[in-house]
Amino acid sequence: MTDDDGAGRRVRLGVLGCADIAWRRTLPAAVADPQLDLVAVASRDAEKAKRFADRFGCAAVDGYAALLQRDDIDAVYIPLPAGLHARWIEAALRAGKHVLAEKPLTTDAATTTRLVDLARSHGLLLMENFMFTYHAQHAEVRRLVAEGAIGELRAFSAAFTIPELPDEDIRHQPSLGGGALLDVAGYPVRAAELFLGDGLEVVGSVLRRCTRRGVDMGGAALLRTPAGVTAQLTFGMANAYRSSYELWGSTGRIAVDRAFTPPPEHRPVIRIERQEGTQDITLAADNQFANVVRAFARGVLDGGALPAGTGHGTDAVLRHARLVDDIRRLAS
């Protein structure tokens, strides 16, 4: 960690990979955060690394291993394809670096468990970047449900679907962790966890597979809580766009659109429908990317752990990985 002219400690950050999400969203948020100092970006393509370095005012590094060998980096952000996460998360942890990795953390629960245990044994923060969970709109929905705005919760539904991607997109490549289950399904699954809590069980699932590409292109899952609240989840990457969830209660319904990928300037609308009428609550805009990098930096500075009870810690990561495994297994 470094001090910035007496203003306080700063986390020295390196980046493994030049993904589009890093260029558009995560790194602009990182360089704006006073707790972070972006030191270097690594790529296997020197020109890509230079382009990122020029824009964000940091060093360009040739290759991921070379960045991990630097002693002026405390933590790394990994926006690589999912199939490469496990290798480079492990390498980063063994190099003594805290890790923020794009979702999914890995492609299976056993590997996720092994890496979580490795991070714990080294006293390092390992954080999975489900950025939408850091948006303020979801905390407001949770507050409304807890205060009885729709009565007793009975059911939850969520959908995240996107139009078909070009053939060469990495999400069509099995070796890189492609497929809808590992990409877009994570959002409705994580939303169900966020609102329904621990103890979710997968009771049925379907995956629509593409034999030409060797990956699943979409599907659905039915989950339930021990109390019998159900969650119906839909996901796909060859569909019309949809990003939403709904909660049904005994006296009303809450609906949220643009739930998972709202731009920073978007003002969310929470719709509450009851027998007596409909109420729209418009919230202030919020930047979930700024929120997640702030939480990561704070976790590193606080000794390698996120605050208890946030729903973003390693226990939540493990529960999520097991649910995704169960969806895959029951669809086989």
Supply the residues annotated as catalytic: 103
Half-sphere exposure of 297 (CA within 13 A, CB side): 26
Residues 197, 152: Cα–Cα separation, whole Å: 15
Residues 235, 7: Cα–Cα separation, whole Å: 45
* DSSP helix/strand/coil, 153: strand
Which residues have CB under 8 Å from 21's CB, separation 6+?
79, 102
**What are the backbone dihedrals phi and psi of residue 244, each rounded to the nearest 5 degrees, phi first?**
-155, 165
Q: Which amino acid is at 129?
A: N
Question: In the numeric block, which tokens belong to residue 233?
Answer: 């989840």
Q: Which amino acid is at 161?
A: T
Q: Which amino acid is at 16?
A: L
Question: In the numeric block, which tokens belong to residue 314?
Answer: 């390693």
Beta bridge partners of 232: 157, 222
Beta bridge partners of 247: 156, 254
- Give me the sign of the Cα torsion angle 61, 64, 66, 69: positive
